Structure 1
Amino acid sequence: MIFVTVGTHEQLFNRLIEKVDELVASGEIKEKVVVQYGFSTYEAKHCEMHKMMSFDEMQGTFRDARIVITHGGPSSFVEALQYGKVPIVVPRQLDFNEHVNNHQVDFTKLIAERMNNIIPVYDIGDLGKTVADYDTIVKTKNSGESSNNKKFNDDLEKIVDGLMRERK
């Protein structure tokens, strides 16, 4: 299952929902797609649509999704990361009147460069290929066992073990 979430920002993000619906209609996406569409007005014909979802519904959908596609709002893609997913992040853009400025584009670029744990899609035309190549792309990202948290914990464990051996 693919979960698409556009958050709760009051500006439309029809561009993303319409593209996902098109990919399902054309058969490029063959699995079930669940969309949390917020204030968007595009009515997808090939996806399960939810204006808003309760906290528990969102958590369950993040957990169960194979792929999460989200806007560039940090809380949405951090939520996916907390469930061990490498989200495809399609930032809202000022040029399409999806936000008041391009801060989502800037933040997405920053996280992609510094953390390498998201898959940014700046051109909506690239979304189909990104979904198709998802499993290959994920292998190049920091996630799960290769995450910074795991490395930090492993390094800390080595330090503590070393200190304990010194005390003996």
Structure 2
Amino acid sequence: MIFVTVGTHEQQFNRLIECVDTLKANGIITEEIIIQTGYSTYEPKHCVWSKLFPYTEMIKNIEKARIVITHGGPSSFIMPLQVGKIPIVVPRKKVFDEHVNDHQLEFAKAVEERQGNIIVIDNVKELKDIVINYDSIIQTMPSAMNSNNQLFNRKFEDIINNIF
């Protein structure tokens, strides 16, 4: 199963939803797709969808999914990481009237570069190849989240132990 979430931002994200629906319609994706469409106006014709899901259902969908495709909101792409999945992140863009600016793209690219545990797609046309090759792409990627808090605590503990 593939789970797609566009978050709860009040602008549409038709570009992503229509792309996924088309991949399903054309038989590129054969497995079940569940989409959380948010405030988008495009209604998928070939996928199971709902505007919003309760939080517990979101978690269940993410845990069940082989692939999670999400917008560039940190909460949405951190959730799959927390259960050991590498998300495909398609940031919302201002040029398509999906957000007020391109902060999602900038932030997601920075996370991808620093952590190496998300796949950022700048152009939805890339989604087809990423989905087809997903399993081989993620083989060499770390699925764990690096925690600066844990690193800080370890270093702080070392300092305290050296003092005493």
CA contact (8 A) 1:80 1:86 kept: yes
Asked whether the equivalents of residues 89 and 121 of structure 1 are also in contact (C-alpha less than 8 Å), the reply is: yes
Residue 71 of structure 2: aligned partner:
71
| Aligned equivalent of 1:30 | 30
Q: How far does the alpha carbon of each residue in 1:113-134 deviate from its partner, in whole angstroms, 9 at most, with x for none?
A: 0000100110110000000010
Give the aligned partner of residue 82 of structure 2. Answer: 82
Q: Give the counterpart letter for 1:119 in structure 2.
A: I
Quote the residue 2:4 is aligned against.
4
Please report the RMSD computed on the Cα atoms of aligned residues, expressed in angstroms: 1.7
**Deviation, structure 1 residue 94:** 0.8
Corresponding pairs, count: 153
Partner of 1:125: 125
**Aligned residue number for residue 166 of structure 1:** none
| Separation of aligned partners in 2, 1:95 and 1:21 | 21
Shift of 1:142: 1.3
Structure 1 gap ranges (5+): 164-168
Work out the CA distance in 1 between the residues paired with 2:123 and 2:108.
Answer: 13
Deviation readout 1:96-126 (Å, 9 max, x if unpaired): 1100000000001100000001001101100
The aligned residue for residue 143 of structure 2 is 143
TM-score if structure 1 supplies the norm length? 0.86
Conserved 8 A contact 1:86-1:143:
yes
Counterparts of 1:44 and 1:132, CA distance in 2: 20
Does structure 2 conserve the Cα–Cα contact (< 8 Å) formed by 1:70 and 1:76? Answer: yes
* Partner of residue 39, structure 1: 39
Percent identity, please.
53
AA partner of residue 7 (structure 2):
G
Give the match's secondary structure for 2:100.
coil
Residue 69 of structure 2 aligns to a residue whose secondary structure is strand
**SS of structure 2 residue aligned to 1:3:** strand
Structure 2 residue aligned with 1:98:
98
Matching residue's letter, 1:64 = K
Name the CA distance, whole Å, in 1 between partners of 2:69 and 2:11.
18
Q: Does 1:113 align with 2:113?
A: yes
C-alpha contact (below 8 Å) 1:68/1:87 kept by paired residues:
yes
For the 8 Å contact 1:18–1:42, the answer to whether it is kept is yes
Amino acid at match of 1:6: V
Counterpart residue type for residue 38 of structure 2: G
* C-alpha distance in structure 2 between counterparts of 1:109 and 1:60, whole Å: 27
Letter in 1 for 2:91: P
Gaps of 5+ in 2: none
